[in-house]
Structure 1
Amino acid sequence: MSGRATPAAAGGNSAARQVIDILHEISTLLNTNLDRTTLSLCVSLIENGVNPEALAAVIKELRRESARLREDE
């Protein structure tokens, strides 16, 4: 194999990028402060069976903890 993406795979990458772009636009409108990379990771986790509500709860807790640590500095 040459290591090059097939046209079908290249189309899939383009579609995945487009989905992330749309999700990022929605995320921005909802003021989630999630960047494209984070959104992509969240989508991947959900596609692999992680409960979306549990993931949201973890993200919220991480943000609370991060804010608390910043206050302690």
Structure 2
Amino acid sequence: MADRTEKQQAAQQAVDILHEISTILNCHLDRRTLSICISMIENGVNPEALAAVVTELRKEGQQQQHESAAAAARRQR
């Protein structure tokens, strides 16, 4: 039980450090998202492929936000 607690604390500390690095680099990854990415990489996902997917999803999300804002502006006219 103590071993499991130590592993959890070490994992939390690693996520905290990586989150600080992410913040410094303006990656805009919250702790939960970062934890999911770490888990995926630990389970064999290619880090470069994961980064490409995250980048693409962000672009699509931003595009949808812009389209929604434009549609809302048109409705207000």
Question: Same-fold call, TM > 0.5?
Answer: yes
Task: Choose 1 or 2 for highest CA Rg.
Answer: 2
- Find the partner of 2:47 among 52, 55, 60: 52
Identity over aligned residues, as a percent?
56
Decide which structure has greater helix share.
2
CA distance in 2: counterparts of 1:20 and 1:40, whole angstroms: 6
The answer to whether 1:18 aligns with 2:35 is no
CA distance in 2: counterparts of 1:69 and 1:25, whole angstroms: 28
CA distance in 2: counterparts of 1:21 and 1:42, whole angstroms: 14
Tell me by how many angstroms 1:19 deviates. Answer: 0.2
Q: How does 1:23-34 map to 2 (within 5 A)?
A: 23-34=18-29
CA distance in 2: counterparts of 1:52 and 1:28, whole angstroms: 18
Q: What's the C-alpha RMSD, in Å, of the aligned pairs?
A: 0.4
Runs of 5+ consecutive residues of structure 2 not aligned to the other structure? 69-77
- Find the partner of 1:68 among 63, 66, 77: 63
| Paired residues, number | 68
